[in-house]
Every structure is written in C-alpha cells, then in structure tokens.
Amino acid sequence: MDHIARYNPEQEEIVFGMEATGHYWLALYSHLVSEGYTVHVINPIQSDSLRSMYIRQAKTDAVDAFIIAEVIRFGRFSETTLSEPDIVALRQLCWFRFSMVDHPSDLKRQVITALDLIFPEYETIFSDMFGRSSKELLAEFTTPEEILAIDTEKLAQLLSTTSRGRFGRCKAEEIQAKARQSFGIKHGTEAIAFQIRQLVAQIQFLEKQLAELETKIGSYYERFSCPVHTTPGVGPTLGATILGEIGDINRFSSPAKTGCVCRN
C-alpha cells in the first residue's frame, strides 16, 4: 500500500487487474477490495491469447503485468465469477478431504505386509481386516504369541465389546486356534508388532479426522438447497464436491456449460 501511495500522491482512482491463477490471487484480492479498490479478476486464457500476439509467449512478471493491464484497458474481457464465502469454504474442505482420503489405504497396505511376516493367517479371521474389532485386537495383541498368552475369556470380552456383541467366545477360540497353527516368522517379531501398532493408531486417527471432516463438509452443504446428491450414484460428499466446484448452478444457462467449469 505504501508503494501505491508513493506513485499516486493525488489519490486518483486506481483499478487493479489480476489473473485467477491457482490460489495465489485470493489474499491480495481480498485485501484490495477491503481497502475499497476496484479489482478485475480475469481468466488466464484471455490474457494468454493477448500475450501470444504481443510477445511470442514470453513470460516474466513485468510482461504479465503489462498484458493484464492491456486486457483491462481494452475492456474486452469477462471477469471470473467469485463464489460466495460458504462455497469457497466448502470447496476448500473438499480439496482437503481429497488430499487425505488415500492416506489410510497406504497405511493399511503396510499393515498387511507386516502381518504377512508374523501372522499370515490373520487375513482369514475377519471379513474386514480393518473393521473396529480387528483394529482393536491388533492394537493390543498383535503377534500369535501375544494372542495365545491372553485368557480366552478376556479375548472374548474384548471382541464382544468392540463388535457390539457380534463376536464372542467362538471367535476368540478361532483366533487362538489360528495363532497356535501360525507359521509366521519367530525372530524380530517385537519390532514388527510395534510397527503394526503404530500404523493401526495412525489409521484410527486419520479415520476419525476424515469422519469429522465429512461432518463439517455436510454442515456446509446443508446450507444450500442443492439436489445434486439425489442423483443416482451421487451421495452427500460427492454432491458437496460438485457444488464446491461449480458454485451457484443457476448461473449456467444449460447443463452443457457446467462442463466448461470442470475442464477449466
């Protein structure tokens, strides 16, 4: 702002122009608008077309500034539509979820690899190796030796609690029988068991975070009367992602034009 004041001592009206490139323009845009300046945000496609005419696609900060100024001066541009704050927040949360959602799967693959070494029969015990009962079991009793060292009744109680009564003594006996017959390695198991417990703890933490994140996304999505999630195959989370990307659907004159947003 000091730079502006130095070059504009008479405080004449100043109009700013900027390209909507990634996220880099948002903070500056917000600050300039809050200071009362007029700011035009243009699609980079428009400035690129003019750039190719003037300078054979050379690209430096000074050249970019000149091109954007020329686009604004000619006045032949369409401004980038700025989403309302709740849409911006929804989009940000959905991007964050997208960056997180694959992390548990990576950790699960590491758990499977480690279990193949010390307890290869484990994968046959539960229909979902990463269901609640299985994760709680792995977090406390990881190796066949640890499972055999625990009293059957105590193991049955753990399974009953974590499965809400679905598993009990019968499952406990099955697990101990497989542990007794296991042909997993017998050396270095303490280190591998530690690794598995650490990985399971990370999986549980990430799954908790994802659940909280999806609840937050849902709370923003509910603020809009958007029927996208009622489309077959589109649930609330995907519906929120679509809404976050396209914004107000009423600004499109035809369904085909929503595809332009995705391609851009």
Euclidean distance between CA atoms 224 and 230, whole angstroms: 14
Give the tens place of pLDDT for each residue, 86-96.
Answer: 888 999 999 99
Q: Residue 245 domain-assigned?
A: no
Q: What is the pLDDT of residue 263?
A: 46
Q: Residue 169 domain-assigned?
A: no
Euclidean distance between CA atoms 144 and 126, whole angstroms: 15
Domain count, the chain: 1
Q: Residue 182 domain-assigned?
A: no
Q: Residue 104 domain-assigned?
A: no
Helix axes 103-118, 189-221, angle to 10 degrees: 160
Euclidean distance between CA atoms 143 and 134, whole angstroms: 13
Q: The tokens 């996220």 sit on which residue?
A: 23
Q: Residue 167 domain-assigned?
A: no
Euclidean distance between CA atoms 44 and 246, whole angstroms: 18
Q: Residue 50 domain-assigned?
A: yes
Q: What is the pLDDT of residue 118?
A: 97
Q: What is the pLDDT of residue 50?
A: 61
Q: Which domain holds residue 61?
A: 2-74
Kindly give the confidence (pLDDT) of every residue in the chain, 264 residues in length, as a single tens digit, with 9 standing for 90 and above.
Answer: 777 777 777 777 888 988 877 777 888 888 898 988 899 888 776 666 666 655 455 567 788 888 888 888 877 677 766 667 888 899 999 999 999 999 999 999 999 999 999 999 999 999 999 999 999 999 999 999 999 999 999 999 999 999 999 999 999 999 999 999 999 999 989 999 999 999 999 999 999 999 999 999 999 988 887 777 778 888 888 888 888 888 766 666 555 555 554 444
Q: Residue 227 domain-assigned?
A: no
Phi, psi for residue 105 in degrees, rounded to 5: -65, -40
Euclidean distance between CA atoms 106 and 35, whole angstroms: 46
Beta pairing partners, 18: 41
Q: What is the pLDDT of residue 253?
A: 55
Q: From residue 233, how far is each of 36, 72, 138, 217, 257 by CA, in Å?
A: 45, 43, 34, 18, 21
Q: Residue 6 domain-assigned?
A: yes
DSSP H stretches of helix in the chain: 2-7, 26-34, 44-55, 61-74, 85-100, 103-118, 132-140, 144-149, 152-162, 169-181, 189-221, 236-246, 255-263
Euclidean distance between CA atoms 147 and 113, whole angstroms: 19
* DSSP 8-class letter at 23: T
